[in-house]
Amino acid sequence: MSSAGGLLDLSQGSRLVLAGEEWEVTSFVPQLGHVHLCSDAGQEMQTTVRALVNHPDCLASTSGSTVPAIHRGRQPGGLGDLTDRQREIVLIRYAHLMEAETGFRSGDRLRAAPEEPKPSYDPDLTTLTERRTAKVAELKALPEMEARAMGLHLISVRTLMRWAVNTRRFGLAGCIDGHWLRRTGDRPTVTPQIREAIFAVREESLHRARMSMKSKEALIHQYVRERFETEEEVVVPSYSTLWRVWREWFGPGGARQRYAASGARHKPTGQHIVVHRPGQVVALDTTVLPVLVRESVFGEPVSVHLTLALDVYSHSIVAFRLTLVSDTSTDVAMLVRDVMMPLPLREGWGDDMEWPYPGVPATLVAEFVGHRVAALPFFAPETITTDHGAVYKNHQLVDVQRVIGANILPARVLRPTDKQAVERAFGAIQSLLLEKLPGYRGVDVADRGTDPEVDAVLTIEQMEHLIARWVVRIWQNRQLGEYAPAWDPGGRHSPNSLIAAAMGQGGFALQIPSPDLYYELLRTHTVGLYDGRGVKIWTAPAMLEARVVGSQPVWAVVPRDRWNASSYSRGGMFPQ
């Protein structure tokens, strides 16, 4: 039987936890599905298998369970959860165990190796206990470093007995060291009273100045003495246990006190977004480029801002922009447009940087677009995650999401993990590329070189071309280390391979926005035309002349291109 908490053992005498209370199965009628439970307090309850399986708070009890602690409440560990070195150690352990159990390292008399069985392991002349004792003596005689490397320096007869029982149930996985797998989180010393004390001290520490874990431990002891003095003695766990529990429940606590207190006021929703296709979530963020550049060849060294658009599913840098001053809402709108536009294959880029994704040939994309396309995906984003900067919270961005049909969703306050992928991308770009460029300033003044202004030789245009080339050739083909999709957690993937896999699974929409999207995303202004003044507004295919009759003005809404002060509408001119 299985439930939300894992597999349930409903045999008579087994125990389970129901709504936080532990019950024992006194009888089970499988043909009728009836289960009779009894609590430690003597309370009895008649229920069914259907009710237990669908109960939201029903899980197997860890007390008295025959399942290894590392497997309780979750899928049992297997060889696929181990590294190559750990699998080799498991095979060595299994061979030693089989020699102690059967006298043969293969576990089968018919597949005996030369000179097997050894005299001390001959099943016809020795007993099982004698073979186990001889195996322990043999392993104890190994050099200490070799024994530690295989985890056999603490071997005993009881260890061999435990391995033998586990291998009968789980095969080779019975020799896996539980420390190699994820910890269970079961801490018997953290009783309900201790849990109450920890949360009470947590609430108190949020209102005080920052304190050490030793002070928090003292407050926990004080709370237990004052709150539970009338009850039987409550044993407080050791400092190391409290320290580990505090880190597991509340994090390492490296934030400033004011930020920790503000962040604790936002309760978690308990809901998680599972990103399973490109374009589902695109994260935007801006940072100051730590490399000084020149506005022109003979210009002064200046700092620019780098704005990134990162696809959260594939970790592809789908667009970026360099701005001389802090970015504006128009820059963000144009960045979103760049996400939807194919990147042209620039001069000097080789054929290895052309559109590489299978299923959609590069010639087809080039014919559809009108030029050769670089190896960078483009799509219409569904959700755009931003921070709470002023450029992301204005009326123009509201119009942008209406025009492109996306949902611009700001991250939660004091929750940088909502867009941690793009935050980490900035650090990766800095360590892989920017640190190697002349004019690099470091992360702060203390790390700055002697004179980075003199070292700055790249112009803004050259820097933009360099980053674009590096993104297409290096970043998109770089193997992702800690990130892997749910359908292949142990595989080796790059942003391009994930995009190709997504195209094979769900196809690709070869859609390119019209040129009118550029003007629809620009900031608009309302202009009044007064009596006695005429203006010519260019609207293809003819030049129309607008005259005003009377003293009332005529109002017109026109977009403004800040890169061209005299250009206002589609191919039109409206002078300031």
553 and 530 Cβ atoms separated by less than 8 Å? yes
Written as six digits, the tokens of 308 are 């990134």
Helix (H, G, I), strand (E, B) or coil at 116: coil
Q: What is the residue extent of each domain of the chain?
A: 14-60, 82-180, 192-264, 281-506
Regarding pTM above 0.75, the answer is: no
Residue 464 is classified by DSSP as H
The CATH code for residues 281-506 is 3.30.420.10
Residues 6+ apart with CB under 8 A from 70: 77, 178, 181, 182, 183, 184
Per-residue pLDDT of the chain (576 residues; tens, 9 = 90+): 544 445 677 877 788 888 778 888 888 888 788 888 888 778 888 888 888 888 877 877 755 555 555 555 556 677 888 888 888 999 999 999 999 999 998 888 888 888 888 989 999 999 999 999 999 999 999 888 888 888 888 889 999 998 998 888 888 888 888 777 765 556 788 888 899 999 999 989 888 888 899 999 999 999 998 888 766 678 899 999 999 899 888 888 777 777 777 767 766 666 667 788 999 999 999 999 999 999 888 888 999 999 999 999 999 999 999 998 888 888 899 999 999 999 999 998 988 999 999 888 899 999 988 999 999 999 999 999 998 888 888 888 888 888 998 888 888 776 667 788 898 999 999 999 999 999 898 877 777 878 888 888 899 999 999 999 999 999 999 988 777 777 777 788 999 999 999 998 888 888 888 888 888 888 876 666 655 555 544 433 333 344 444 455 566 666 766 666 444 433 333 333
The full 3-state SS of 362-388, as one line of letters, equals HHHHHHHHCCCEECCCCCCCCEEEECC
Number of alpha helices (DSSP H) and beta strands (DSSP E) in the chain: 17, 18
Say how far residue 152 (Cα) sits from the centre of its chain.
36
How many CB atoms within 10 Å of residue 475?
Answer: 21
Confidence at residue 64, expressed as pLDDT on a 0 to 100 scale: 53
- Quickly list H helices, 208-314: 213-227, 239-250, 257-264
